Structure 1
Amino acid sequence: PVVPARAPGPALVLGQYLSTLGILTPRQEEELHAGMVRGAVALGHTRIVFKPHPSAPAHWTRALEEEAVRLGAVLTVADSPVLAETLFESMRPALVVGCFSTALLTAASFYGLPVARLGTGPLLQQLSPYQNSNRIPVTIVDALLPDLDDPAAVTGWSMPSPEEIARGAAGLVGAVGYAMQPQLQAPLRPVAERYLSGHRDAVRRYFKRRRLTALGLPGAIPAQLTFIPRNATVRRLARRARTLKRAAAG
């Protein structure tokens, strides 16, 4: 007899309850989850399962259910206390979405499931102080996994090989680790210097320019600008003045 093909699983949204850690406000986290639902629907998923953090408030799930209905999708809540891996195995979701949960990497590496991240970019800028221990997992997920807001990246993505990860993410993680704890991670300084010298485009996303300046690393603020205070208006006026000066010289 012919065994019928298994129907595609739903999209699985992983909640982390980041507001309890002071990383996001409750309102920001609620909107982050809503963005995950919108992103999943935009990719064609009309069945969505939300796995909330056990301590998350119940009204979040009600708001997500309403958002799904508004978008023409159906959202159910996996409120039983099971590991995400249990759902990966039993549900075989068509997509796993989260912020920086390590379960995203487990889903991709060990279960071969499509994954997507959302919200890591703003988090990289918001985490404070720079040596916040969450910076490493946020950096890894941001660097390796596709952004939910980029449908082409999500649908065309595959998990990098260990060799590719070693060539790319390892250098980034070493550089971030040194910038976070230069005293404890002093042997990583050459790694940080090599990475920053060859990946100037990563400076703004993963590093604070003033921290690089304090550590004397590539990507630091030019010496003639280090006097400028941390004020957006003053910095904008300074950039405009430099532009006018170059135009006049030309």
Structure 2
Amino acid sequence: IVPTDAFVKVLAELVDTGDSLPVVDEPALLLGQYLSALGILTPEEEEALHVRMLKGAVELGHTRVVFKPHPSAPARWTRGLEKEAERLGADLTVLDTPVLAEVLYQRMRPALVVGCFSTALLTAYALYGLPVARVGTATLLDRLTPYENSNRVPVTVVDALLPDLTDRKAVTGQRRGTDEQGLTDLVRAVGYAMQPKIYPDLRPAAEAYLTKHLNTHTWRYFKRKRLTSLALPGAVPAQLAFLPRNATVRRVARRARSLKKAVGR
């Protein structure tokens, strides 16, 4: 593990690599990741995600916005974002030179950093004390496959710790979603569910977390099918496991939904 002070010192030595960057003081900085290349989102969905970042920042009062696209992302995404910025009356700067987000933090001191689950969100928050906000993590938690996809841990950490861009009070107050111990317990539970054979010693921690904290909010971090296969709290009871595959039950459920729609007309 690299000591924090040493890591920050190295990043400070890189600040001159941004000499050619445009001068924009305290903008809202949007971080692109090119998630469609990973097959998590479609190109259209990722383009819409960037627009959500822009709209959310503007709604919070930020009129100077800088977009840092992924180096491999299609150029058309920035054109669409520029059109949206013009419609919203925002001054958008798109960076066309690859540069570390941490260099931007030091040169621009962003008033807000917005992203999906980039680790740069966490360095902004933990190392530079910058206001941050997340977008789209709930969708990613639902989409990531298989469950043991390595991106699940950073998405979980960002979703649990950082405020959602649409929650004005949480963003302006930089309210943490959970404390350090709560985050540790969650990551242990998710880690065991992801890799039970590699981390069998985490099972007691996973059972304890699921027993105490599984609710409508924390369900996003788990899949019932996964919990069932591991016989963890939250699993479908063994005597009911046949129901989703039972043709009669499905037929009755469809009939019930039809009746409900008819009554509601």
- Give the TM-score normalised by structure 1: 0.87
The answer on 1:188 being equivalent to 2:205 is no
User: Where does residue 246 of structure 1 map in the other structure?
Assistant: none
User: Where does residue 99 of structure 1 map in the other structure?
Assistant: 116
Q: Do 2:192 and 2:199's aligned partners in 1 also have CA atoms closer than 8 Å? A: yes
Q: 1:48-197 to 2 correspondence within 5 Å? A: 48-158=65-175, 164-165=179-180, 167-197=181-211
1:109 Cα shift? 0.6
Which of 213-222 and 50-59 deviates more? 213-222
Amino acid at match of 2:220: R
Which of 117-126 and 69-78 deviates more? 69-78
1:209 Cα shift? 0.5
Segments of structure 1 that go 5 or more residues without pairing to the other structure are 1-6, 242-250
Q: 1:27-66 to 2 correspondence within 5 Å? A: 27-66=44-83
1:236 to 1:203, Cα distance in 2 relative to 1, 3 A: farther
User: Where does residue 227 of structure 1 map in the other structure?
Assistant: 242
1:210 to 1:111, Cα distance in 2 relative to 1, 3 A: same
1:218 to 1:25, Cα distance in 2 relative to 1, 3 A: same
Q: Deviations over 1:192-236 (max 9, x none)?
A: 0011011121552100011101101111123343112279x9399
Which of 146-155 and 100-109 deviates more? 146-155
1:160 Cα shift? 8.2
How far apart, CA to CA, are the structure 2 residues paired with 1:236 and 1:142? 37
1:144 Cα shift? 0.2
User: Where does residue 10 of structure 2 map in the other structure?
Assistant: none
Q: Do 2:163 and 2:177's aligned partners in 1 also have CA atoms closer than 8 Å? A: no
How far apart, CA to CA, are the structure 1 residues paired with 2:111 and 2:54? 14
Q: Do 1:229 and 1:235's aligned partners in 2 also have CA atoms closer than 8 Å? A: no
**Secondary structure of 1:12's aligned partner:** strand
1:71 Cα shift? 1.0
**Secondary structure of 1:229's aligned partner:** helix
1:44 to 1:111, Cα distance in 2 relative to 1, 3 A: same
How far apart, CA to CA, are the structure 2 residues paired with 1:236 and 1:78? 56
Amino acid at match of 1:86: V
**Secondary structure of 2:127's aligned partner:** helix
The answer on 1:210 being equivalent to 2:225 is yes
Identity %: 66
Amino acid at match of 2:203: R
User: Where does residue 43 of structure 2 map in the other structure?
Assistant: 26
Across the aligned residues of Structure 1 and Structure 2, the Cα RMSD in angstroms comes to 2.4
How far apart, CA to CA, are the structure 2 residues paired with 1:138 and 1:99? 8
